[in-house]
Amino acid sequence: MEKLHRGFAIPFAVCCLGVALFSVMDAAMKGLSLSIGLYNALFWRAVTGTLLGLALMLLTRQRWPTAAVLRIHLLRGTVVALMAALFFWSLMRLPLAEAIALSFIAPLIALYLAALLLRERVGRQAIGASLLGLVGVGVILSGKLQGRYDADALLGALAVLASAVLFAWNLVIQRQQAQVASPIEVAFFQHLVMLGVFALAAPVWLAVPPAAAVPLVVLAATLAFTSLSALAWAYARAEAQRLIPVEYSAFLWAAIVGWLAFGERVTAVTIAGALLIVAGCLIAARSKRPDMAHVEAGTV
């Protein structure tokens, strides 16, 4: 038992680090998007992450994936690119903690996508858990509908929910990818495919970032690559159901970073809604395959 506990300690610590780094990355991307625009923030982060990944692929002599694995990388990278655009667009309009809380609904959506795409059965307990999560979403949105937020913030909340649908699809894909590719390969191809998607709009929107923005671009890309690799490593070495509670610490990190970087305050309504959503996710995790409740590994 002691040996098993020690074996879990390192993946647990790496998972904690990965979640914290993702929250800092979200803040970096929010600041970058506000300063140079969302498209350029996403494009230049993808460029930097791709170059970093290529260097690591060569240094560690990673094998080139087969055609079947490449198809998985292409599908997940495309889904994540669209998901990232929606999520970071919402971050420009919402406090970090609020956006993260709303994004927690993704594992519950994944239950139904798994039923649709993988023909899995959704039990009564999982249905009840998803309804609890929806109540949490309603609680958070209620503040906006009562006029305490402007219409732009409400659109931001809806963008998070749309992003969560794509995130849920990503959750269905990620387990298959983790079984056939290393963490470095996963991170590299995710950035490479995202770069390819964003490059389609380069003739219209691309601009060279000012020198002052370059350190933030490098920081965001490094944090994204490192946290994605760390979480992939942790989930390959420990059961997802044991790491799930760590994932929801992202709300606390987002609240802290949002307050320090942007002076954002977390409302009681947001906290209450987040608790309901997390409770729903944890109930669903106990009644469903644990990998469907993984929150952060596919984050952007």
Give pLDDT tens digits for 11-66.
889 989 999 999 999 999 999 999 999 999 999 999 999 999 999 999 999 989 99
Are 84 and 99 spatial neighbours (Cβ–Cβ below 8 Å)? no
Kindly indicate the confidence band of residue 152, based on its pLDDT and cuts at 50, 70 and 90: confident
* Separation CA 94–CA 135 (nearest Å): 20
Q: Is 174 within a domain?
A: yes
Kindly indicate the confidence band of residue 131, based on its pLDDT and cuts at 50, 70 and 90: confident
* Separation CA 251–CA 257 (nearest Å): 10
Kindly indicate the confidence band of residue 4, based on its pLDDT and cuts at 50, 70 and 90: very low
Alpha carbon 76 to its chain centroid, in Å, reads 13
Q: Is 300 within a domain?
A: no
* Separation CA 46–CA 191 (nearest Å): 5
Least confident of 54-68, 99-113, 144-158: 144-158
Which residues constitute the domain of residue 19? Answer: 2-293
Closest to 109 measured CA to CA, from 157, 170, 159: 170
Q: Is 299 within a domain?
A: no
Q: Is 249 within a domain?
A: yes
Q: Is 298 within a domain?
A: no
Provide mean pLDDT across the span 193-216.
96
Domain count, the chain: 1
Q: Is 160 within a domain?
A: yes
